[in-house]
Structure 1
Amino acid sequence: MKLKKLPAAVALATLAAFAGSAFAQVKVGVIASATGPTALVGIPQKNTVPLLPTKVGDLTVEYISLDDASDSTASVTAVKKLISEQNVDAIIGPSGSPNAMGTIQFVAEAGVPMLAPVGTAAVVLPMNEQKKWVFKTTQNDDIIAKALVDHMTKAGVKTLGLIGTADPYGENWAKVMGALTEKAGIKIVASEKFQRSDSSVTGQALKILGAKPDAVLVTAPGGPSVLPQTTLFDMGYKGQMYQTHGAALPDFLKLGGKKVEGTILAASLMLVLPEIADSNPSKKVASDYIAAYEKLHGNKPATFGANVYDAGLLLQQAIPTAAKKGKPGTKEFRAALRDALEQTKELVATQGVYTMTPEDHSGFDERGRVMITVKDGNWALLK
C-alpha cells in the first residue's frame, strides 16, 4: 500500500510543531568576573555554571558564559551581546556590584530578568520600574549589618571606624551602618574609602588609627577585603575587626593569615557547615553543591559560587510556570519568568530560604546568615 504524501504546508507545520516540543530551549547568559580585581568572586561563579540545571520539565536550558574581566563597561557590552545576539531569556550576573548597577537599564529596557549575585542591596532597592527586572541572590546588607551591630552592642562597642570600597558596595554599607549605629548609640568616628584595585591603604588606615575606634568594620567584597585589615594589624591596631559577607571566601583566610585571626562576620552557613544542625533546611542543599563542585574542580567553592547555584535553583522553579504563558525566546516568556521569580515562596537554597515579593527581590530573612569568627586559621561558628 502506497502512503499518501502530505501537502507541503501540512508537513512543514507538523515539523515545526515537533521541533517546538522536542527542541524548546531556554537560553541563560552568565557574566562572571573570572579575571581582574574581582576574580576571587568571579572564578567560583564561573566554575559553578556546569552544575546548573540543564533540563527543566520538557525544556532544555543552555548557558552562555562570558567574562567581563571585572570591568563595568565590559559588563554592559556583555549584556547587550547576550540580549541582541543570543536572545537570552535571563541573565545571571555580573559578579561585581558596580558592574551589576551599570547593566540594570539595559536588562529593563529589553525585559530580561537578571539574577545578580552581588553584595549591594542597591541593585534592588529602592524598588522602581527598572529594578523590578533584577533579583538578588545574596543577603541584603541590612540583614548582615543588623547581626553585626547587635554583636557590637553586646560587646560594648561605643565607637566604630569604617573603611570600604568607593563603589556601590561600600557606599550602601556606609549608609546602612550609619542608620543602624545611630539607633544603637554607636558613634562612627572615621569613615574611609579605597579602590578595589589599590595596592596600599596606608593613608586611610592612619586616619582610622588616629580616631582610636573600639572596633573597625571593613566593607569590601572578595580579595580587597583583606588589605585594610592586614594594614591596620601591621600598624598595631588592637580593637575588634569586623567584616561583611563580602569576605566570606577561602582566600580571605589564605591571604590574611594570622593577621585576620579573631575577625567577626555574619555570612552564609556554608562557611561552617559541619557545625550547622542537620535540621537546618539549607544544610543538605549546600552540602550537595559543595560535593558536586569539589568533584568537578578538586577544591571547595567560595560562597560566591553558591550565589550563582542558587540563581539556577530560582530559575528551575520559575521556568515551568513561565512556560505556561509563553515560549522561550519570546517577550511573553521573559515577562512571565520575571513574574514567577517574584512569586518565589520558601525556596530552600544553599544560602538560606528565598521568599520574594514585589518589594523584596532578595528574599532572605534571618535564616540567611549566621555569626562566624576566624579561629586558628579557619572559620568557626561564633558562640
Structure 2
Amino acid sequence: MKKLLTAALLSGAAGIALSGAPAARAEVKIGVITSASGPIALVGIPQKNSVALMPKQIGDQPVRYITLDDGSDPTASVKAFKKLIDEEHVDAIIGPSGSPNAMGVIQFAAESGTPMLAPVGTAAVVLPMTEQKKWVFKTTQNDDLIAQALVENMVKRGVKTLGFIGTADPYGENWSKVIGALAEKNGIKVVANERFQRQDTSVTGQGLKILMARPDAVLVAAPGSSSVMPQTTLFDQGYKGQMYQTHGAALDQFLQLGGKKVEGTILAASLMLVLDETPDSHPSKAIAQHYIDAYKTAYGQTPATFGANVYDAGLLLEKAIPAAEQKAQPGTPAFRAALRDALENTHELAATQGVYNMSVEDHSGFDTRGRELITVKDGHWALLK
C-alpha cells in the first residue's frame, strides 16, 4: 500500500511539474544594457527610452525587458551582462551602448550561447566573423558602408589629402583602418591621423598637427557628443577645408553643441535625419515615422538615431522569436540557439534604419538603403544634393 501511495504521489508531482512548466516560463526575457548615464549618455538615453516602445507580446509569448545602466563604464557592462545571463537567465541581450563596452562582453555571449544585438558603431563586433562573434548581431550600419559614401563624395570634390581624428577606442581604430584602405584605393593620401579620449576636454594639440598637415578635408570618427569638439577646435584654429563626420554624429545635439562651427558638415547616416525629404517609396520611411511619432508622444522630443538602433533590435527579435519557438521553449539553451539561427536568416526586414538581410558572413545586413548623404544647412540636417 505504501509503495502504491508513493508511486501515486510521485506520478502526481511529475504531472504537476509537467503541466506547470509552460506556465512557469510563459515569457521571453530580453536583457537591455544602455549607457543612460556617463560620458555617452546622449547615446544611451534614447536607447533606454526606446525599450518602452518595443513589443510586449511576440508570437504566443509575452516579453519582459530587463534594463540595466552601465554608466558608460565597460567594467560595469561586463557585470551587467553576467547578471542578465547568470541571474535573470535572459534569452537575448540588447546592448551595451558603447563600442568598447560591447567588445568587452562578446566572449560572455558566446560562452553562454546568448544572442547579443549590439546597437554600436564599430564593425569590429561582427567583423572579422569568428566563433564568438557568430552570437553577435549589429543594428547599425557597418563602417565600410558609411565610409564608401563619404569617400565617393571626397573623390567627386577632388579631395587628394585627408586628415583623420578619431576616438582612441574600437570605434576610432576601426574607422582609421577602413578609411585608410578606401582612401588609398581612391588616390587620397591620409596626411594626419590623430586620436583622443571621449572624456578629453581639449584636442588642441591634435588639431594643430592636422592643421600643419594642410589636408583638403578632415574626417572626425567619434560617437555622440564626442564628435563635436574636434570639429569646433579645428574651426577655431582656422581650418577652412571640408569637414566630414561618421554616423556617430547623427544626433540633433551635434547641431546644438556645434552651432555655426559645424555648418556645411557632410556625413552619411540613416534616413531618419532627413525623413521629410525621403521618398514615400523608401521601405523604411513609414516604420521610421511610426517610431518617431511614438517616441515624441512618450517623451515630447524627437529621438536620436541611436535610440532607433535599439528599437530595430526589437523588430529583429519580433521576427525571429516565433521561428525559434517552433524549435524550443524560451528559457532554454535550445531556444537561444534557435533564436541565433533565426536572426542569422533574417531576410528583407525593413526597419527604421534601413533593410536587414543577415547571413553567415554578414551580421549587420545593411545595404545602400541604410544610408543617405547628409549635410548641415542653416543649422539643420538636409539631404546632400
Normalised by the size of structure 2, how large is the TM-score?
Answer: 0.96
- In 2, Cα distance between the equivalents of 1:327 and 1:313? 20
Amino acid at match of 1:307: N
Q: Where do 1:21-40 residues align within 5 Å?
A: 24-40=26-42
- 2:30 counterpart SS class: strand
- 2:124 counterpart SS class: helix
8 Å contact from structure 2 (residues 143, 175) kept in 1:
yes
* Partner of residue 217, structure 1: 219
* Partner of residue 54, structure 1: 56
Any idea what the Cα deviations from partners look like across 1:259-312, whole Å, max 9, x if unmatched?
A: 000000000100000000000010000000000011000101000000000000
Task: Tell me the CA shift for residue 222 of structure 1.
Answer: 0.4
8 Å contact from structure 1 (residues 52, 312) kept in 2:
yes
- In 2, Cα distance between the equivalents of 1:22 and 1:280? 43
Task: Tell me the CA shift for residue 325 of structure 1.
Answer: 1.1
Any idea what the Cα deviations from partners look like across 1:45-77, whole Å, max 9, x if unmatched?
A: 000000111101110110000000000000000
Amino acid at match of 2:322: P
- In 1, Cα distance between the equivalents of 2:126 and 2:169? 16
Amino acid at match of 1:76: V
Any idea what the Cα deviations from partners look like across 1:135-157, whole Å, max 9, x if unmatched?
A: 00000000000000000000000
* Partner of residue 303, structure 1: 305
Any idea what the Cα deviations from partners look like across 1:81-121, whole Å, max 9, x if unmatched?
A: 00000000100000000000000011100000000000000
One of 190, 193, 200 as aligned partner of 2:192: 190
8 Å contact from structure 2 (residues 34, 97) kept in 1:
yes
Matched, 1:166 2:168: yes
Task: Tell me the CA shift for residue 324 of structure 1.
Answer: 1.2
Q: Where do 1:137-148 residues align within 5 Å?
A: 137-148=139-150
Amino acid at match of 2:88: Q
- 2:121 counterpart SS class: coil
Q: Where do 1:25-174 residues align within 5 Å?
A: 25-174=27-176
Task: Tell me the CA shift for residue 179 of structure 1.
Answer: 0.5
Query: For the aligned residues, what is the CA RMSD?
Result: 1.3
8 Å contact from structure 2 (residues 25, 330) kept in 1:
no
- Identity of paired residues, percent? 73
Task: Tell me the CA shift for residue 21 of structure 1.
Answer: 5.3
8 Å contact from structure 1 (residues 205, 228) kept in 2:
yes
- In 2, Cα distance between the equivalents of 1:22 and 1:278? 45
Length, aligned pairs only: 378
Task: Tell me the CA shift for residue 13 of structure 1.
Answer: 2.6
- In 2, Cα distance between the equivalents of 1:185 and 1:268? 27
- In 2, Cα distance between the equivalents of 1:19 and 1:111? 22
Amino acid at match of 1:78: A
Normalised by the size of structure 1, how large is the TM-score?
Answer: 0.97
- 2:346 counterpart SS class: coil
- In 1, Cα distance between the equivalents of 2:108 and 2:24? 31
- In 1, Cα distance between the equivalents of 2:51 and 2:120? 16
- In 2, Cα distance between the equivalents of 1:113 and 1:8? 37
* Partner of residue 329, structure 2: 327
* Partner of residue 243, structure 1: 245
Amino acid at match of 1:26: V
- In 2, Cα distance between the equivalents of 1:10 and 1:316? 37
* Partner of residue 234, structure 2: 232
- In 2, Cα distance between the equivalents of 1:67 and 1:264? 32
Amino acid at match of 1:64: I
Amino acid at match of 1:342: E
One of 336, 339, 342 as aligned partner of 2:341: 339
- In 2, Cα distance between the equivalents of 1:19 and 1:295? 39
8 Å contact from structure 1 (residues 161, 208) kept in 2:
yes
Task: Tell me the CA shift for residue 14 of structure 1.
Answer: 5.5
Any idea what the Cα deviations from partners look like across 1:27-62, whole Å, max 9, x if unmatched?
A: 110000001111110000000000111101110110
* Partner of residue 3, structure 2: none
Matched, 1:362 2:364: yes
* Partner of residue 265, structure 2: 263
Any idea what the Cα deviations from partners look like across 1:183-225, whole Å, max 9, x if unmatched?
A: 1000000000000000100000000000000000000000000
- In 2, Cα distance between the equivalents of 1:224 and 1:56? 37
- In 2, Cα distance between the equivalents of 1:191 and 1:87? 44
Amino acid at match of 1:277: P
Task: Tell me the CA shift for residue 17 of structure 1.
Answer: 2.7
- In 2, Cα distance between the equivalents of 1:220 and 1:17? 53
Amino acid at match of 2:107: Q
One of 290, 293, 297 as aligned partner of 1:291: 293
- Structure 2 unmatched ranges of 5 or more: 1-7
Amino acid at match of 1:242: Y
- In 2, Cα distance between the equivalents of 1:99 and 1:13? 45
Amino acid at match of 2:56: T
Task: Tell me the CA shift for residue 16 of structure 1.
Answer: 4.7
- In 2, Cα distance between the equivalents of 1:7 and 1:111? 37
Task: Tell me the CA shift for residue 19 of structure 1.
Answer: 5.8
Amino acid at match of 2:374: I
Any idea what the Cα deviations from partners look like across 1:217-268, whole Å, max 9, x if unmatched?
A: 0000000000000000011110000000000001000100110000000001
- In 1, Cα distance between the equivalents of 2:19 and 2:295? 38
- In 1, Cα distance between the equivalents of 2:341 and 2:249? 32
